[in-house]
Amino acid sequence: MATTTVTTNEVPQRRVAPTGLALAWHRFKKSLRSPTPYLTVFGIFLWFFTYWLLCEGLQLPRFVKIPGPVTIISEWFSTNPSQGISIFTPEYYHHIAVSCRRIAIAFFLATAIGVPLGLLMGWSRAFHDYTFPILETLRPIPILAWVPLAILMFQGYETPVIFLATLASLFVTTLNTMLGVQSIDEAYFRAAGCLGSSKWDVFKHVVVPGALPYIFTGLQISIGVAWFSLVAAEMVSGDYGLGYLILSSYVNGVTVPMVIGMLTLGFVGWFTSVLVRMIGDRLMQWHVRALALQGR
């Protein structure tokens, strides 16, 4: 276990709550005293060990064709990769950058359209009745099925890709925002009414902040959805992107870059969703502080 300089019998002094980096450092130090980081590390180790055992250790039938962790990692960190992709090739970063840019635009568009749409759907019964059936019909259609239509609808390579990723995350954002508005306790609307609010006041001071926790849950899911729609979306593009890397590696039968692409996409996706969560926490101090008091 990590040793800390703070003696345990010292009564902690109430002081100004740390913010920013200091807060992050405080959380990190605190987490070292909990089992979480150790279990996480052990969990990752266990996962990799099983993976290695199946593919490279025991070399079980069927698994033997799958690139094992040692192969992947040595290729990933190789200065001279045999299958073309490693952290030392500029191409690798180009794939990441292109995908990030597409996701950023798609996520921005989906948020800019989905949040207002969801707010209106949750707030206005009539608007809900107009739009909900259409949304519910379109929502289950897999992004892959939209690919041909996207190509027909839009010119070039970039627009259809962004359209597809936007579409994927739009539904999640809209639905969650709508549920967020519907989850607001009726008493807040009544209280606002009593206190002399106009409709716009209610929208600004009750509907939007009340739905915010759901909106950010939705945004965290929606950025994830945008990432996993990427393989389908980047089918359209003929040059770069992590989704394209995965797909083209598969088509060309080079499995190692494919797995590198998959893992990279996973990590970058995880990072972006942490980013969204951090923005959310910043905007919802009331929510964070209430949860902190419950010890969460």
Site string for other proteins, 162-201 (x = CB under 8 A): -----------------------x-xx-xxxxxxxxx--x
Cα three-residue angle 279-280-282, rounded to 5 degrees: 65
CB 83 within 8 A of CB 253: no
If one asks whether residue 1 binds other proteins (CB under 8 A), the answer comes out as: no
- Report the distance separating Cα 73 and Cα 293, nearest Å: 43
Interface segment toward other proteins; rule CB under 8 A; list 6-14, 29-37, 134-142, 205-213: 205-213
If one asks whether residue 209 binds other proteins (CB under 8 A), the answer comes out as: yes
Sign of the alpha-carbon torsion through 243, 248, 250, 255: negative
Kindly tell me which residue out of 72, 164, 206, 236 binds other proteins, with binding defined by CB under 8 A: 206
- Report the distance separating Cα 237 and Cα 158, nearest Å: 7
Closer to other proteins by CB, 216 or 244: give it.
216
- Report the distance separating Cα 1 and Cα 265, nearest Å: 33
Cα three-residue angle 73-79-84, rounded to 5 degrees: 75
Closer to other proteins by CB, 208 or 233: give it.
208
Closer to other proteins by CB, 197 or 273: give it.
197
Closer to other proteins by CB, 113 or 283: give it.
283
- CA-based radius of gyration for the chain: 24
**Interface contacts to other proteins, rule CB under 8 A:** 185, 187-188, 190-198, 201, 205-206, 209-210, 212, 284-287, 289-290, 293
